[in-house]
Amino acid sequence: MGTYDGILNGKVLVSGGSYEQKGDTILLRDPVCNIGYTGVYHLHFKEDSVLFTVITDSCTIRRQGTDKVGMKRM
């Protein structure tokens, strides 16, 4: 379990999110969608990057910003 902030091009998009990783699955919660709603995503790891694929997420804003989005280690 841990916390995260979502930053794109130096702009904070979400702050105070939390996550829990179970193998290749991650559960996301953040104040953008109400901390009580959990998004569940499959993680695809490749070298120093990860791609998120939605399993279930009722929060449209989070799903649109996370599903099929790749992130690279900084």
Q: What is the pLDDT of residue 74?
A: 63
Strands, sheet with 39-46, edge to edge from the N-terminal-most edge strand? 2-8, 11-22, 25-29, 39-46, 49-56, 69-72
Q: For position 24, what pLDDT does the model report?
A: 96
pLDDT of residue 64: 92
pLDDT value of residue 52: 95
Which DSSP state fits 33? S
CA max distance for the chain: 33
Residues 42, 51, 45, 48: is their CA dihedral positive or negative?
negative
Domain ranges of the chain: 2-72
Per-position pLDDT tens, the chain of length 74: 899 888 888 888 888 889 999 999 999 999 988 888 999 999 999 988 999 999 999 999 999 989 998 887 76
pTM strictly above 0.95: no
Other C-beta atoms closer than 10 Å to the C-beta of 39 total 23
